[in-house]
Amino acid sequence: MTSIFQRYADGEPTELRIQMPQRVLATTVSHYPIDVLVGHWEKYLVDPSSARDRFPWAARFVMGMPVPTWARGLEWDIGQKSRFISAVWLGGDLGSYLTNDWYEPVISSRALAVNSEILVDGQQRLHSLEEYLLDRLAIPDAQGQPRIWSELGNGVRKRFLSTIFTHVRVSSSDEVALRRTYDLCALGVVPRSFDQRAIR
């Protein structure tokens, strides 16, 4: 083992059979402001029953997106939610949320096939946003005074909504691959506990 870094080997390694792990599903990454996510959610809020008709198999909806039954529940406590919203205000790294673009209509029904358009990862962060925007979560202002969304003026709201929140997408009907991707997410470094995994 050498302590000198080389970006590429001088010659091809003799062991060409070494294969490193590959991503489970190909991803597409988009850098959108939170405002885009909120626009999607507003459409859901106009007619939530329509979403339930399209995704009758969903465990719940977060920011208007169906969550599969194999995803963990809503587990963040008030402190975790508050820290995430504070990170938005402070310009911290929000990570990303992951959805599945794939959809397939069920014949003779308004419903889409299971796992269509699901929120694969990011449920806790998106739920924190939802709670904050619905005035269920107060965040300290610059003077430390707890403030809810409806107290804020449009200027500061616009600053919040213009914050980039990276949207990662996959497109797959393969539930096993989606579950594996879900298990790998966990912010990339913290593995989900056994009881939180989709594949056991």
Report the mean per-residue pLDDT for the chain. 89
Residue 62 lies in a domain: yes
First to last CA, the chain: 36
Residue 2 lies in a domain: no
Q: What is the pLDDT of residues 166-177, one digit of tens each?
A: 999 999 999 999
Residue 16 lies in a domain: no
Residue 162 lies in a domain: yes
Query: Among all chains, which residue has been given the structure tokens 């959805």?
Result: 99
For the record, the structure tokens of 86 come out as 């504070």
Q: Which domain holds residue 117?
A: 44-186
Q: How many whole angstroms separate alpha carbon 8 and alpha carbon 93?
A: 31
Residue 25 lies in a domain: no
Residue 197 lies in a domain: no
Residues in CB range of 143: below 8 A, 6 or more apart: none
CA 162, 164, 169 angle in degrees (round to 5)? 130
Q: How many whole angstroms separate alpha carbon 88 and alpha carbon 83?
A: 9
Residue 14 lies in a domain: no
pLDDT at 195: 64
Q: How many whole angstroms separate alpha carbon 83 and alpha carbon 91?
A: 12
Q: What is the pLDDT of residues 178-189, one digit of tens each?
A: 999 898 876 444
φ/ψ bin of 157: left (φ > 0), alpha (ψ from -120 to 50), beta (otherwise) = alpha
Q: How many whole angstroms separate alpha carbon 133 and alpha carbon 45?
A: 12
Strands 96-100 and 65-67: unpaired
Top pLDDT among 12 and 50 is at 50
Least confident of 3-7, 111-115, 139-143: 3-7
Please tell me the total count of domains within the chain: 1
Whether residue 132 contacts residue 139, with contact meaning beta carbons closer than 8 Å, is answered with yes
Residue 93 lies in a domain: yes
Q: What is the pLDDT of residues 45-90, one digit of tens each?
A: 999 999 999 999 999 999 999 999 999 999 999 999 999 999 999 9
Q: What is the pLDDT of residues 138-159, one digit of tens each?
A: 999 999 999 999 999 999 999 9
